[in-house]
A and B are shown apart, each in its own frame.
Chain A
């Protein structure tokens, strides 16, 4: 088991945002987190990545309770890609991807061959090697997202968390990014809004509602017309291709 969350609860002041969530993700699996706005997707993602401390419950990654792992050591195994990261600093693509080596480098250590190869591989993986000297400010939204995924890859993590990585992207780039994430060797947890894309690219889906798990399982099992009606308050027509592999959700006006 790559990620195991048990009974996670978290809230701000008296408002509970995540309550009693337990999930598990197998090694190499891509898990989609879906749910209406405010259902706790982003918060859950941050709890799993160790960026927020749960009020109750535990997260275990590769058999270790992350509350017991120092921040830096955790970042060598776990990467987090926030949605639409922004900066006003004039950094290059290479500068950004090199940041991914931060958890692997001590304060005064030089640039090692391992750092080098991780950065080169990451840039090649997202097809940005040729543009490594370009200013980050001049990139399009899709390219920025790819660079941030490259930075996460440069961390050489075993687990990756992505918070709505396809936000603000056109359909071509949405598919490109998610295909890339699915094809990675890592275990990935992705918060998504687009249910069709979630069905296309995720091995398993967890549906959140009001901070709790409403349903979980394969896209076919979970994304039913009944569920869409009760969670998202929409009428939809879910069709499957003959092979049963691809499914399509058509929303009714």
Chain B
């Protein structure tokens, strides 16, 4: 009797699923580290990592060791955390806005980040290696600020917030276009385009360290509020009737998602689709209740992004396809299957 009520009907047993997906993540990261224009054996990959961690002292070619540790591992780990963060943000926004189309960029964050990045690339505002990231981060938060202002501190209803997000996105997109068309040269426009489509090319360990703080922190806050998120199933008023402080939760979670998204976008550009599709895929497997859905989304997002990064590097030899292109190309067929299988049964 206990188990029949204590656990929901949907989904496979959670511990098994978690272990399985963590293994999948480890395999994906190892593969991402091994594969590339210069393929390195899995054994060497593992030894390089344990060498760097001081666990082993194997004799390896310094080049291979450096490629594994300095280039590929940091990149794969950033991809994993970025995927997790975007998927998590999408899950939160879909729940709070009660909209299946909500995704991390619905609050105008990506458009804002683009504007910030373009200001740095084209106008040359700021200097130094971190200027681009910093500009993007500032732009993202400026856009979120506009949304919060337009939707009255994000305390008004979901549709109001979505409209405010659309308005902010339009505003910042046109600002970006204005700056690019009036002062950009061809080379700069190409840079901007490439940045907008997303790339893991420039990420290194410091990026990983920042995400290692922000994303797990975001997950912890979201999990802590997971039960409250469930209460939004039938709308804001219903959540309030169940004792949830709606306004406060809304603003806290919006800020957390904006923070995660802004940090990720500032590193890898506006990679779409992950935040939209992964929550749906995870929901399809573990059901809609957030204590299961949030960790599931995070891990599926991580595996998805690492896999997409592998594809982006190997699909055309000697060339890396923008990650945003891959997430959409891989994501759409995958999404089509879910949409088809999850269609309402008459």
Contact = CB atoms under 8 A, between A and B. Distances in A.
A183 B6 CA distance: 28
Interface stretch (A78-86, A194-202, A238-246): A78-86
Interface stretch (A25-33, A105-113, A219-227): A105-113
Contacts of B245: 71-72
Contacts of B228: 102, 107
Nearest to A118: B5
B5 A102 contact: no
Nearest to B6: A111
A95 interface: yes
A91 B233 contact: yes
B145 to A, nearest CB: 27
A108 B224 CA distance: 7
Nearest to A120: B5
B98 interface: yes
A85 B244 CA distance: 17
B187 to A, nearest CB: 46
B233 A87 contact: yes
A231 interface: no
B177 interface: no
Contacts of B98: 87-88
Contacts of A137: 344
Contact of A82 (B226, B237, B289): B237
A71 B237 CA distance: 12
A107 B226 CA distance: 8
Interface string B281-304: 001000111000000000000000
Contacts, number: 99
Interface magnitude class on chain A: 35 or more
A103 interface: yes
A80 B237 CA distance: 9
Contacts of A103: 242-243
Contacts of B288: 89-91, 95
A105 B242 CA distance: 11
B241 A82 contact: yes
Contacts of B1: 116, 120
B8 interface: yes
A51 interface: yes
Contacts of A249: none
**Interface size range of chain B in the complex:** 35 or more
Contact of A75 (B242, B283, B344): B242
B64 interface: no
Contact of A94 (B9, B100, B224, B238): B9
Contacts of B226: 107
A71 B243 contact: yes
A52 to B, nearest CB: 9
A86 B98 CA distance: 11
Interface in B140-170: none
Contact of B5 (A80, A87, A91, A116): A116
B213 interface: no
* Interface core residue of A99, A105, A108, A120 (most chain B CB under 10 Å): A99
Nearest to B2: A116
A119 B5 contact: yes
Interface of B: 1-2, 4-6, 8-10, 98, 100, 224-228, 230-231, 233-235, 237-238, 240-245, 283, 287-289, 342, 344-345
26 contacts: A51-B241, A71-B243, A73-B243, A74-B243, A75-B242, A80-B238, A82-B235, A82-B241, A85-B238, A87-B233, A87-B234, A88-B98, A88-B100, A89-B233, A92-B8, A95-B8, A95-B233, A95-B288, A95-B289, A98-B8, A102-B230, A102-B231, A102-B244, A103-B242, A103-B243, A120-B5
Interface of A: 46, 49, 51, 71-76, 79-80, 82, 85-92, 94-96, 98-100, 102-103, 105, 107-108, 111, 116, 119-120, 132-133, 137-138, 155
Given A95-B289, A102-B242, A105-B227, 15 more contacts: A75-B243, A79-B241, A85-B235, A86-B234, A89-B233, A90-B10, A90-B287, A91-B233, A91-B289, A98-B8, A99-B231, A99-B242, A102-B231, A120-B5, A138-B345
